[in-house]
Amino acid sequence: MTSRIILTALGLTLMVCNVSATADDRCIGVPESACRRFVEAVGMRQKNNPKGSLLVIEELSKNYSNNFTIQYTYGRLLAEDKRYEDAIKQLQIALELGHDFENFDIEIYNIIGFSLLMESRYDESIEYFYTIEMSEEFQKKSKDFKIKVYNNFGVAYMQLDRFQEAKEKFEKSKNLGSKLAYKNIEKIDSILESLRNGDVNMPGIFALIVANPTTEIYTQQSLLKVSNKLDIPSSGFTVFRATKGQYYIAMASQVSYPKAEQLKEQANKKGISDAFIGSITSWDNVTKNFYSKN
């Protein structure tokens, strides 16, 4: 039973310094003959022109095929562009070049692992996350980096239905302050409880969200739309409000995660392609506010 869960954002940036640094600083690890073009690519990326930056780095990667910094940067940008298969190949080339590089960073393993995740190559991704966790450098890394690795590690295990191992990784991430990990632990607990009882229809803490309007007025309009699409009376929906004021219209609430997955497939078939599963533990049920107005 493969389960969809929340993925940690990759959050890629170029591995070079800030705009106020000198050209020499920004070209650490880059051949002098490539420095000007490399800095140009950095500038494009910082000016929200990732496509232009990618083209420049791609050109440099062909001319400096043995340079770790350039090959690594090219692989990162490919991953950022969601060209995961190409990113994996490129980053593996960089990995071969980088072991003896003075500024080698184990983050390359996380990017390869994440890209493998996105290509559904879960067993392979686990090998890279394991390599990170076992390395001496990992203990010196920032809390944010450790959270990314543990969350991605947990995702890989969960996609293989290895729920206990996934929970262990999410627990480590949660202990570092990750709210995302907490939500994924809730999902795992719901799945495990359903498996123990053999009943997906048991009560749970999840809801299938079929619309998430931003205001009260839009919520009333959205209720009518989803009611027509799903052929369910508007009174059959539950409306929640999150702490930040966002509204969520649920086709079903207080259900197990596996049950919510089943309902999501039904909603998709009826044209609700952006339906998603949410944990309702921190949301307020404000349904009565809308039914009293209809």
pLDDT tens for 221-234 read 999 999 999 999 98
- pLDDT band for 60, please (50, 70, 90 cuts): confident
* Radius of gyration of the chain from its Cα atoms, rounded to whole angstroms: 23
Q: Which of 96-105, 197-206, 208-217 has the highest mean pLDDT?
A: 208-217
Q: Which domain holds residue 105?
A: 23-187
How much is the pLDDT for 3? 41
Where does a domain end: 187, 213, 237?
A: 187
H/E stretch holding 249 reads strand 247-255
Q: Quick check: is 193 in a domain?
A: no
Residue with tokens 């309007």: 213
How much is the pLDDT for 6? 41
Structure tokens at 205: 């803490």
Least confident of 3-17, 65-79, 160-174: 3-17
C-alpha–C-alpha distance, residues 77 and 211, integer Å: 33
- Tell me, yes or no, whether 37 and 178 share the same domain: yes
- Tell me, yes or no, whether 58 and 165 share the same domain: yes
- Tell me, yes or no, whether 207 and 264 share the same domain: yes
- Tell me, yes or no, whether 79 and 172 share the same domain: yes
- pLDDT band for 47, please (50, 70, 90 cuts): confident
- Tell me, yes or no, whether 163 and 283 share the same domain: no
Provide the 8-state DSSP code for 94. Answer: H
CATH of the domain at 81: 1.25.40.10
Average pLDDT over residues 53-62: 86
Provide the number of structural domains found in the chain.
2
- pLDDT band for 190, please (50, 70, 90 cuts): confident
How much is the pLDDT for 175? 96
Higher pLDDT, 250 or 103: 250
Residue with tokens 């508007």: 234
- Tell me, yes or no, whether 48 and 169 share the same domain: yes
C-alpha–C-alpha distance, residues 147 and 134, integer Å: 15
Above pLDDT 70, what percent of the chain? 88
Average pLDDT over residues 244-254: 88
Q: Which residues contact 281 (CB under 8 A, 6 or more apart)?
A: 186, 205
CATH of the domain at 271: 3.30.70
Q: Quick check: is 72 in a domain?
A: yes
